[in-house]
Structure 1
Amino acid sequence: MMIFVAGATGAVGRLLVPLLLDAGHEVVGASRTETGADRIRAAGARAVRVDALDADGLRAAVAAAAPDAIVHQLTDLSTADGAANNRLRHEGTRNLVDAAKAAGVERIVAQSIAWAYAPGPGPAGESVPLDPTDELPRARIVGGARALEDQVSELPEAVVLRYGILYGPGTWYAPGGAVAAALAGAPEARFLGSLTADDSVSSFVHVADAAEAALQALTWPPGAYNIVDDAPAPSRAWLPALAKALGTPAPPPAEGALPWARGASNTRARALGWRPTHPTWRAGFAAQGD
């Protein structure tokens, strides 16, 4: 298959491109910078320099690639600019879907998030609705995920991958990343806010497992899938383990929990054969420095 990867130099995209090539696919990777385009070429794929917010440019790039499928891994998280990332989810996705329609592409695999579910007991399955909250800033985050999912679902073969919190190379949770800086008290990491070791539950996924899911999803039935590890856990459990792996102080335990922080279940993706090579965050965190 010919695959057009939007966001080919992000934390997931940079691992996905080699996987696609090794699986025998042809790949055109998109980046908005020449440095990113060079990285794509170095991986062995074709590269196109285009900004996802440039509707005409993106339409031309997709038309020229004539792909059988598109993989949407667009994010804007390097500077922790939530507004920029949300704009990309809204406008970038709109442009990508319109480009796919114009080129006659029916299949898209798109990155969404697994922490947008409505509050409730236990890890959320895909049938749980997204959170209807109007409380900011969560409403903006969930609204961006909802807009992305609604727009890609206009294509007849849309697969939405609801990733857990990404960790591993190139993420905020990697050694030397933003979370390590925040735990160490670095002022430049204040954008993360307070990291609280309470009973709020999260689900994680290693970037390598996220990339493998995107590869496999090229043949999955349309729909949404949680791509998370096997061990949803409260931050009072995972935050000290992460701090130890990163060599930073751990915050003290705290009471309470965010009502929507419930984690997610990976049962549906597992039923299709996806298996995380890092089945728990505990072993995955410890292995980051290896």
Structure 2
Amino acid sequence: MTTVVGDVYDAERLREVVAEARPDVVMHQLTDLATRDFAANSRIRREGTRNLVDAALAAGVRRIVSQSIAWAYEPGSTPATESTPLDLHAPDATRRATVEAVATLEAITAEAPEWVVLRYGMLYGPDTWYTKGALMADLATTANLPTGPDITSFLHIDDAATAAAAALTWPTGPVNIVDNDPAPASTWTPTFAQSVGAPPPKPTPSSNATAPHPTTPADSGAADSGAADSGAADGGAAAGQTAGGGTADNAAAGGPTAGAVPGEADAARTPWARGASNAYAHSLGWSPTHPTWRTGFTS
């Protein structure tokens, strides 16, 4: 395999890089979150995706696999499925800007003859924000981790990688890639705090307080400058930077996410913080090796 480095914001050079690599597939895992600059991350979703997809199509690439997120769905009372509309009319301007950038990324990806959008859950594991010494561990250590009713669907970084590989042969369309155990912060934060050696979290006074929602590992490397590592081999994939509702009983059994959102009353929950269903991914033959954060945080 040959590794080629290019700047995703340099459209002309990026076309040259992808053309020289001659990939069969382009895997878009670009982010810009090392400094928690969400505007920069939205820019890479819009402009970076545009340039990368244009370069791929110009090189004759038929299949593109792109990273998206599983918490951009509109409000609801059950875990979101792939057919749930995105929250494009969110009243909060910051959230609306994020969702609009996600929708742009997905629409541009869909210009390819074959495409898969991987809507990842909240990533945890090595080199993510949910590990010792990283952002969420620091919040836990200083007792600043919100513990309200908002639902999160998690995903271990290793399971994100297996889904990306499987997506090379999946049918066109979006796929939720999350574990089997969506849970309110009041449920998962004690386990997370214990896993990073932090004290038990204090209850959150505000019913709508929610933890930050990063989309990728904090150590996002080349994403800081919008650089894309494009590796290709015969029959291989050119890649942008790589990223490397169920109940507890259902998760422990390894079953797909289904049913109502667990946790406290919907009235107390941020409406869009509903979790996501992985039933479709299970039907495609994928299942997380870390089916629940309950054991994943400590593995």
Q: Which amino acid aligns with 1:158?
A: W
Match for residue 233 of structure 1 among 183, 193, 218: 183
| Residues 154-233 of structure 1: pairs in structure 2 closer than 5 A | 154-185=111-142, 195-233=145-183
2:29 corresponds to which residue?
73
Structure 1 residue 257, shift from structure 2 partner: 1.7
Using the size of structure 1 for normalisation, the TM-score is 0.79
Structure 1 residue 253, shift from structure 2 partner: 2.4
Q: Which amino acid aligns with 1:225?
A: V
CA distance in 1, matches of 2:86, 2:199: 34
1:267 corresponds to which residue?
279
1:101 corresponds to which residue?
57
CA distance in 1, matches of 2:9, 2:127: 23
CA distance in 1, matches of 2:64, 2:200: 40
Structure 1 residue 182, shift from structure 2 partner: 1.9
Structure 1 residue 168, shift from structure 2 partner: 0.6
- How many residues of Structure 1 are paired with residues of Structure 2 in the alignment? 236
SS at structure 2 position matched to 1:50: strand
SS at structure 1 position matched to 2:7: coil
1:24-69, Cα deviation, whole Å (9 max, x unpaired): xxxxxxxxxxxxxxxxxxxxx4211111111111111110011111
Structure 1 residue 106, shift from structure 2 partner: 1.4
SS at structure 1 position matched to 2:297: helix
Structure 1 residue 219, shift from structure 2 partner: 0.2
Residue pair 2:82, 2:174 contacting (<8 A) in 1 also: yes
| Residues 13-162 of structure 1: pairs in structure 2 closer than 5 A | 45-132=1-88, 133-162=90-119
1:111-151, Cα deviation, whole Å (9 max, x unpaired): 00000000011101000000021412111111111110011
CA distance in 1, matches of 2:101, 2:141: 30
Which blocks of at least 5 consecutive residues in structure 1 are unaligned? 1-44, 187-193
Structure 1 residue 110, shift from structure 2 partner: 0.4
**Comparing both chains, which one has the higher relative contact order based on Cα–Cα distances under 8 Å and sequence gaps of 6 or more?**
2
Using the size of structure 2 for normalisation, the TM-score is 0.77
Q: Which amino acid aligns with 2:114?
A: E
Residue pair 2:141, 2:193 contacting (<8 A) in 1 also: no
- Compute the RMSD of aligned alpha carbons: 1.3
Residue pair 2:69, 2:118 contacting (<8 A) in 1 also: yes
Report the more deviating stretch, 47-56 or 164-173. 47-56
SS at structure 2 position matched to 1:162: strand
User: Equivalent pairs: percent with the same residue?
Assistant: 55
CA distance in 1, matches of 2:5, 2:60: 21
CA distance in 2, matches of 1:134, 1:174: 32
In the alignment, does 2:166 pair up with 1:247? Answer: no
Runs of 4+ with deviation above 6 angstroms: none
1:28 corresponds to which residue?
none
Q: Which amino acid aligns with 1:59?
A: R
Q: Which amino acid aligns with 2:92?
A: E
1:23 corresponds to which residue?
none
1:231-289, Cα deviation, whole Å (9 max, x unpaired): 000010011111110111333223332110000000001101101000001100011xx
Q: Which amino acid aligns with 2:44?
A: L
Q: Which amino acid aligns with 2:139?
A: A
CA distance in 2, matches of 1:79, 1:283: 29
